[in-house]
Chains A and B, each alone.
Chain A
């Protein structure tokens, strides 16, 4: 089955700096890679995703890159703000099939 590794497990950045979270996956057939943000006391919420036919996708201050050859993908948050503080999960799946999550990264943005 699929195995997703995520690092770092914790990340502290100064407000305004960039944050990068990296994930690797094992199943070369996986073709869908979402990122979820979980705020304290809430369920995870999708923030951005990428499919295997795309190398990069941006949405305002967040971007995701995918390297299918190396089987890794990354989340980039620029100009971080205190409200970006949360736990972020990467995941991998084949379309409409079981989703495997990474262990999560706790991001702290220091004002």
Chain B
């Protein structure tokens, strides 16, 4: 089944404790992206990757890092999480203009 998977689905952590949210797709898509979803703000792009070893900033990249060492995986890294990064995060991959979203990761930073 073609899909985008994210782990973990839920995470509660404390300020400053490094964390990684994994994202994997099995559709061999070149383009992958991370979004955060906040009430009243919709979906805002954090980072995107056009292909392996090619990443670029989206609209709200501050406080986040990404890497793209292989086509199927695109992890999101929070080196020192802060409470304002409490949000719902979505990974997506893109083919022919259609974005395929993962199920989301709800992150709470205390």
Contact = CB atoms under 8 A, between A and B. Distances in A.
B56 to A, nearest CB: 9
Interface residues of A, number: 22
Contacts, number: 49
A103 B41 contact: yes
Interface string B88-110: 00101000011101111000000
A99 interface: yes
A99 B104 contact: no
A103 B103 contact: no
Sort chain B's interface into a size bin: 20 to 34
Contacts of A102: 42
A46 B42 contact: no
Contacts of A46: 98-99
Interface string B1-16: 0001000000000000
* Most chain B CB inside 10 Å of its own CB: which residue of A32, A43, A89, A103: A43
Given A101-B42, A104-B42, A42 B103 contact: yes
A contacts with B: majority SS: loop
A99 B45 CA distance: 8
Contacts of B45: 98-99
Given A44-B101, A101-B35, 18 more contacts: A6-B42, A34-B99, A36-B101, A41-B104, A42-B103, A42-B104, A43-B4, A43-B92, A43-B103, A43-B104, A44-B99, A49-B98, A89-B42, A95-B97, A96-B97, A98-B48, A101-B42, A104-B42
Contacts of B42: 6, 89, 101-104
B19 interface: no
Contacts of B43: 44, 89, 101, 104
A89 B35 CA distance: 14
A89 B58 CA distance: 18
